[in-house]
Amino acid sequence: VIPLGQHPHPLHTVAHVSDTHLLAGGRGLHGAATEEHLEAALRQLARLDPVPEAIVFTGDLADLGEIDAYERLRSIVDPAIERMGAIPVWVMGNHDERDAFARVLLGADGVSGAQHRAYEVGDLRIIALDSSVPGYHHGAIDADQLEWLAAELSTPAPHGTLLALHHPPIPSPLTPAMELLELHDQHLLEEVVRGTDVRAVLAGHLHYSTHSLFAGVPVSVAAATCYTMNLSRADRLLSGSDAHQAVDVVHVYADRVVHTVVPLGDPPELFSMTTAEAARIEAMTVGERIDAFSRKDSPSATPEG
Ligand SMILES: [Fe+2]
Ligand SMILES: [Fe+2]
């Protein structure tokens, strides 16, 4: 479909998936069918036009860091991304274990240090930072990694950079308990990021969608695919629920980045416009489109507007 409004097509389409929390043997987590949710997410992403060039997985990929959980993750993700022609960007979370993560997902021989790296998606750079702290659930970026990041960002990418890390460097006012497990010393990362070509920060960890600002850069937290937080339970500091799982789609334009939450599942349809109508609309002049779809007494005025 050609652009029907004022804005050109985006330069890049990137998917943002978080907190899959897979377990060895395909076990669910707290009763949530984590593998089925991930499969649904990938099926829905494969329907996008265009499909994503990259899928960024912002951590907590395996709930206990088991080798088998990462292998199961790859067996689900690999065929899907191959069909899409996308690249996976793997990011460490607090539930992940560096050695198993690196062996299975990055093909490394075994490691102990932070698992950060930069990916090129055409002219767009995606940086995966490792905010995990071995043995703990809170986050931190160590001095070596900050130094590496500063060096990497010293050369801007033509279309800018998306910075992906698990622990979001923002407050979480609806889940104060999660602030016990937040990214420590956020000012150190802020000093490195401010004024660079970083155009968006992608994060996870909270298990619900939220948006804020960090170092002058928009932050987008994707909800989890495993389970999400009920944010309106007055009698709970935290309440995980098997509902409202979602992924994000990130569209990178020359002058902005647009983040869109895509809930998992196909609920019953109430009304629709089919893609078959696109060719007819494309053939119309701007005036004909206003007359057909915007004029209130037009028979085909868009019902969802
Ligand atoms: Fe998580
Ligand atoms: Fe987490």
- Distance (angstroms) between ligand 2 centre and the Cα of 225 equals 12
The helix (H) or strand (E) run that includes residue 241 is strand 240-241
Rounded CA-CA distance 61/90 in Å is 8
- Distance (angstroms) between ligand 2 centre and the Cα of 250 equals 21
Query: pLDDT value at position 88?
Result: 98
11 in Cβ contact with 253 (< 8 Å): yes
Query: pLDDT value at position 301?
Result: 66
Query: pLDDT value at position 303?
Result: 56
- Distance (angstroms) between ligand 2 centre and the Cα of 239 equals 15
Query: pLDDT value at position 71?
Result: 98
- Distance (angstroms) between ligand 2 centre and the Cα of 132 equals 9
Task: Count CB neighbours of 73 within 10 A.
Answer: 23
What b/e sequence results for 84-108 when a residue is b if at least 16 CB atoms lie within 10 Å of its CB, and e otherwise?
bebbbbbbbbbbbbbbbbbbbbeee
Phi, psi of 212 (to 5 degrees): -160, -155
- Distance (angstroms) between ligand 2 centre and the Cα of 224 equals 10
Query: Mean pLDDT for each consecutive 10-residue tract of the chain (305 residues)?
Result: 89 98 96 97 97 98 98 98 98 98 93 93 98 98 98 98 98 94 98 98 98 98 98 90 97 98 96 89 92 88 58
Rounded CA-CA distance 132/214 in Å is 19
**Of 157, 243, 143, residue with least CA distance to 198:** 157
Half-sphere exposure of 22 (CA within 13 A, CB side): 25
- Distance (angstroms) between ligand 1 centre and the Cα of 209 equals 13
Question: What six digits make up the tokens of 145?
Answer: 């990694």
- Distance (angstroms) between ligand 2 centre and the Cα of 3 equals 38
Question: What six digits make up the tokens of 305?
Answer: 């507007």
What b/e sequence results for 270-302 when a residue is b if at least 16 CB atoms lie within 10 Å of its CB, and e otherwise?
eeeeeeeeeeebeeeeeeeeeebbeeeeeeeee
From residue 237, give the alpha-carbon distance in Å to each of 57, 173, 246.
26, 11, 22
Non-local CB neighbours of 213 within 8 Å, separated by 6+ positions? 170, 219
Ligand nearest to the CA of 178: 2
- Distance (angstroms) between ligand 1 centre and the Cα of 60 equals 5
Alpha helix positions (H), the chain:
34-46, 67-84, 98-105, 143-153, 186-193, 278-282, 286-289
- Distance (angstroms) between ligand 1 centre and the Cα of 94 equals 8
- Distance (angstroms) between ligand 1 centre and the Cα of 62 equals 9
Query: pLDDT value at position 265?
Result: 96
Query: pLDDT value at position 302?
Result: 57
Query: pLDDT value at position 304?
Result: 58
118 in Cβ contact with 127 (< 8 Å): yes
Helix/strand/coil for 86: coil
- Distance (angstroms) between ligand 1 centre and the Cα of 290 equals 46
- Distance (angstroms) between ligand 2 centre and the Cα of 59 equals 7
- Distance (angstroms) between ligand 2 centre and the Cα of 139 equals 9
Residue with token string 């099926």:
43
Rounded CA-CA distance 87/54 in Å is 5
- Distance (angstroms) between ligand 1 centre and the Cα of 225 equals 9
Query: pLDDT value at position 275?
Result: 86
89 in Cβ contact with 164 (< 8 Å): yes
Burial class (CB in 10 A: 0-12, 13-18, 19+), 46: middle
Query: pLDDT value at position 2?
Result: 82
- Model-wide pTM > 0.85: yes
Non-local CB neighbours of 145 within 8 Å, separated by 6+ positions? 114, 116, 129, 130
Ligand nearest to the CA of 61: 1
- Distance (angstroms) between ligand 1 centre and the Cα of 21 equals 7
Rounded CA-CA distance 258/250 in Å is 6
- Distance (angstroms) between ligand 2 centre and the Cα of 85 equals 28
Q: Per-residue DSSP letters for 256-278?
A: -EEEEEEESS-PPP-----GGGH
Query: pLDDT value at position 305?
Result: 52
Ligand nearest to the CA of 34: 1
Ligand nearest to the CA of 94: 2
Summarised one tens digit per residue, pLDDT across range 62-113 is 999 999 999 999 999 999 999 999 999 999 999 999 999 999 999 998 787 9
